[in-house]
Structure 1
Amino acid sequence: MMRTKNSREEWLLIQKSQIWELPEGNERIMSVLKLSFQNLKSSLLKQCFAYCSMFPEDFTIEREKLIQLWMAQGLLHPSPGQHMEQMEDIGNEYFNILCQNSLFQDVTKDDDGIIEDCKMHDLVHDLAKEVSKCESLMQELKNVMEDHNTLEIRHVSHVPILTLERMSESSMARLRSLFMSDDQVPSTIFLKLRALRVLDLEEAGIEELPNSIGKLKHLRYLDISYTRIQALPKSIGKLYNLQTLRMRRTDLKKLPQEMKNLINLRHVYFDEEIEIPAGILGKLSNLRTLPYFSVGKETGPGIGELGGLKQLKGRLTILNLEHVKSEEEAKKAKLEEKRDVCELTFEWTRDDKNEEESESSTSSSINDEHEQVLEGLRPDTNLQRLQIEGFRGARFPSWVMCLNNLKKIKLFDCPNCEGVPALGQLPNLRRVKICRMDNLKCVGADGLDSFPLVEHMSIFGCPSLESIRITQGIASLRELIIKDCDNLTSLPTTQGGIASLELEISKCDRLSSLPSGLLLRCTSLKLRYAIISP
């Protein structure tokens, strides 16, 4: 709270507050929390905090989900003069402010230090419930609903269906949020929810969505994750204002063509097995979040549908790249224009019919095709994480060496490559993982002799690998894992500089000794199925 106070008077005002005269205990803590809440500068920010009362106590709150809920409620407005500011960016700013004010705790961060989820302390959660009690009905209040003026209620969270059905029709018509996890959701309820913006059915025991879902004209957020829903009704295409659609871990097999009408959809989540007919994704030009794009062979979407999705952000996995046949076709994805995509995965599915051919000759047509396609999938140089899997070419694309912002690279199941790019020349690379590269003979050739910032390196299942020729610039290395490399005879040498190292070696039968420079810095050493002398 104090970091936002810029004047001496503001600091003195806090110091002279009567809350410091209260005895220590929950009452004093709650008073301090209230003071922290009251000092939030924006009324919209206060509403964002109050909305957190919708989650149960001790619930793990996903950052992206919370921001999308705020967005659906219309709480993320750009500041004066900042009309181009994205709602998601405003939401991230609000989230960070609440963290800085200690209103969120137990945060979990990704490898780059970005918060992924958090929790609220019980007392903070109590405060959120208190400041939202006039317009919120929660599970804890189900027995005292009679004490509420239900006409004021705007948000309902995890109350029994019977409680919901006891509300008057005029009260139902004013609801803006409904979180439900019941086994049965009567279809008639949707006809009454004329102002609903958020419908969260995550983990509800339902098997279908009724056609009446299409009547929710103001709906902006829909979550059916972890349900047994097998198909979406065609009326889903009438939810023209929908911004977020979450469909993780469902029984859905295929999305309906009508989804192409969701022109305001910004975030969509689904499992990679779901079939998406051609012509849907290419129409959703407002998409920011798209977890998977599976290239169709005949009836599915072509790679060109990605071309029009210019606002994509975050992670993107492109599957079934074996259905792309040329560099020119791959270029239609226009990945180079997607500056805000920070993580890319390129995946070819292993084709048993062509397996023998693709592994026996690196000059075969299928290998050349893979090389051309990957070259055409050149991303923006802002990319931070890259994974290539199932690639059958003999050489990696030239654009890898232009990725100066790359922090992590994973190369999986690329059996025809005898080498890897000169990754040591990438100035920000921190993590390297190489797995199942059958023909890889050496790591460290062609200029790969220095890793200035690499902290974690792992090499698995490379039976032809003989040496790792890294001789300098590995001062940042903290973890080195090598497994199932039967022909490996030497490890990186070092002249010192490594502060500490966790070294794990498994099933490297020909490796008979370890460089003294590595051993001197080891804080943890694991050897399995190896005959090694220091």
Structure 2
Amino acid sequence: VGDNTLSRDPGIVKLARWVADKCGGLPLALNVIGKAMASKTTVREWEHAFNVLTRSAAEFSDIKKKILPALKFSYDSLGDQQLQSCFLYCALFPEDHQMGEYQVIKEVYNEGYAMLGTLIRANLLTEVGTEFVVMHDVVREMALWIASDFGKQKENFVVQANVGLVGIPKVKDWGAVRRMSLMENEIEEITCSSKCCELTTLFLQQNIYLKNLTGEFLQSIKKLVVLDLTKNYSLSELPEQISEMVSLQYLNLSETSIEQLPVGLQELKKLTYLNLHTTKKLSSISGISRLLSLRWLSLVESRAHGDVSLLKELQLLKNLQNLQIKVSAELSLEQILGDQRLANCVTGLEIVDFQEKPLDISSLESFESLRELWLAS
């Protein structure tokens, strides 16, 4: 940019630092944007550039022409379509979002942990500590650009996360939408007068005022595979029309106020993942045995204890591989251990009410897959 430009106004220096931060240390981005800004000598021009980069880096002409096509080489070099799809999935999260805690990536994609590692080594994701990864702003723009058929079909991927929405965004053609992320907004109700007939993924995490998903809306998304409702603390029920979501494989209701599961949930024959972690108002999951495809289930910190009736239902889930469950030391531990196949599924164990009877720690050795243990009096 040069000293002449920077010395014209202190405001330009401040804005130049912000623009450089948006480049996140990517040499290619710094070089291209630096050349584009070399002729900009007013604060207004720099403010405009910063606003464009903040809103959507792909709208910055030199990024679209020079950076995104160059970065796409890294995407193409991944080779494997499943890996490429996993990479695009990461763009559904908000800008600068730390993604490590999101099981969705690891569960929707086989070998999800390995995939994230490959994306890190390809410099398409960046590690933050030992537990989280983030996607660089410009890399995220490249992912959204690819997902929208290089800008030709922007409604393929609708990502309006953490932008202050209070309702469903306006979309010209709902039939074109394949994946949508509306997480971290202030939406109170999800309705849709049009059929979202091609939608396969819907992220609604952390809409803390969300109270209602209408039955009409659920009927319109019959091809939906992934529905994430994590941390919607005001959500206390789901409509019975969920039974019509026949393609659903992943449902995350953790940290919601769900009081009971709709009977219609039992009709979801393709459901493989159900997260009910920290559903503290949910006391029963009767009928869970009808979800014959279920592979992953978490009941930790819910009111649904591993009592006799629940354990009998869980024993009928022959495809179950990963179980996180809440039990009492006196009764349920012995019953689980009486079924070695079920015991081998337990990866997380919350033991409560053990103060009345000493807990035999040695009995936990029989849980060969156990990775996490919680004890509560």
TM-score, normalised via structure 1 length? 0.48
Task: Name the amino acid aligned to 2:230.
Answer: E
Aligned to 2:211: 183
Query: Could you say if the C-alpha distance between residues 305 and 224 of structure 1 is closer, same or farther in structure 2, counting changes exceeding 3 Å?
Result: farther
Contact 2:344–2:367 (8 Å) recurs in 1: no
| Cα gap change, 1:233 to 1:163, in 2 (>3 Å) | closer
Shift of 1:256: 2.4
Equivalent residue for 1:106? Answer: 127
For 1:145, the equivalent position in structure 2 comes to 171
Give the C-alpha shift of residue 375 in structure 1.
Answer: 5.7
CA distance in 1, matches of 2:134, 2:101: 10
Paired letter, 1:288: Q
- Within the alignment, does 1:130 sit opposite 2:145 as a pair? yes
Distance (Å, rounded) in 1 between the aligned partners of 2:203 and 2:254: 12
Structure 1 residue aligned with 2:287: 258
Match of 1:281 among 309, 314, 317: 314
Amino acid at match of 1:129: L
Is the alpha carbon distance of 1:21 and 1:301 closer, same or farther for their aligned partners in structure 2, counting shifts above 3 Å? Answer: closer
Q: Any idea what SS the aligned residue of 2:143 has?
A: helix
Does the 8 Å CA contact 2:175/2:197 hold for their aligned counterparts?
no
Q: Name the structure 2 match of 1:154.
A: 178
Q: Is the aligned partner of 1:119 residue 2:134?
A: yes
**8 Å contact from structure 1 (residues 292, 317) kept in 2:** yes
Q: Distance in 1 between matches of 2:237 and 2:284?
A: 14
AA aligned opposite 1:197: V
Q: Distance in 2 between matches of 1:379 and 1:227?
A: 29
Amino acid at match of 2:75: F
Within 2, Cα distance between the matches of 1:312 and 1:158?
Answer: 33
CA contact (8 A) 1:282 1:305 kept: no
Q: Residues of 2 paired with 1:385 and 1:219: CA distance?
A: 28
Supply the AA of the counterpart residue of 1:156: M
Tell me: CA distance 1:282–1:268, structure 2 relative to 1, closer, same or farther (3 Å). Answer: same
- Select 1:226's aligned residue among 255, 260, 265: 255
Q: In the aligned structure 2, how far is the partner of 1:162 from the partner of 1:387?
A: 37
The answer for the alignment partner of 1:350 in structure 2 is: 355
Q: Does 1:213 align with 2:237?
A: no
Report the CA distance between 1:145 and its aligned residue: 2.7
Q: Distance in 1 between matches of 2:189 and 2:257?
A: 22
Q: State the partner residue of 2:341.
A: 308
Structure 2, unmatched stretches of 5+, are: 1-27, 35-56, 58-62
Q: Distance in 1 between matches of 2:202 and 2:214?
A: 14
Counterpart residue number, 2:103? 65
Q: Does 1:201 align with 2:229?
A: yes
Corresponding position: 1:165 with 2:170: no
Shift of residue 374, structure 1, vs aligned partner: 3.1
For residues 296 and 317 of structure 1, the distance between their equivalents in structure 2, rounded to whole angstroms, comes to 11
Q: SS at the partner of 1:303?
A: helix
* Contact kept? 1:294, 1:301, Cα under 8 Å: no
* Kept in 2: contact 1:104–1:119 (CA 8 A): yes
- C-alpha distance in 1, partners of 2:320/2:92? 26
CA distance in 1, matches of 2:69, 2:159: 23
Deviation at 1:152, TM superposition (A): 2.4
Q: Over aligned residue pairs, what C-alpha RMSD do you find? A: 3.7
The alignment status of 1:54 with 2:92, answered yes or no, reads yes
In the alignment, residue 286 of structure 1 is paired with which amino acid?
Answer: N
Partners of 1:319 and 1:236 in 2: CA distance? 27
Kindly state the Cα deviation for residue 214 of structure 1 after the two structures are TM-superposed: 1.9
Q: What amino acid maps onto 1:317 in structure 2?
A: L
Q: What CA distance in whole angstroms lies between the structure 2 residues aligned with 1:318 and 1:203?
A: 21
Give distance in 2, aligned partners of 1:173 and 1:296: 47
d(CA) in 1 for partners of 2:176, 2:32: 36
Greater Rg over alpha carbons, structure: 1
In the TM superposition, what is the alpha-carbon distance from 1:101 to its structure 2 partner?
0.9
Q: In 2 relative to 1, CA 248–318 (structure 1 residues): closer, same or farther, beyond 3 Å?
A: closer
Pair 1:282–1:62, CA change in 2 (3 A): farther
Describe the SS at the equivalent of 2:318.
coil
Given that 1:244 and 1:265 are in contact with CA atoms closer than 8 Å, whether structure 2 keeps it comes out as yes
CA contact (8 A) 1:194 1:216 kept: yes
Work out the CA distance in 2 between the residues paired with 1:61 and 1:386: 20
Gapped runs of 5+ residues in structure 1? 1-18, 72-86, 110-115, 321-347, 355-365, 391-412, 414-534
The structure whose residues are more often helix, as a share, is: 2
Task: Report the Cα offset of residue 92 of structure 1.
Answer: 2.7
SS at match of 1:227: coil
The 2-side partners of 1:298 and 1:62 are apart by 35
Report the CA distance between 1:63 and its aligned residue.
5.8
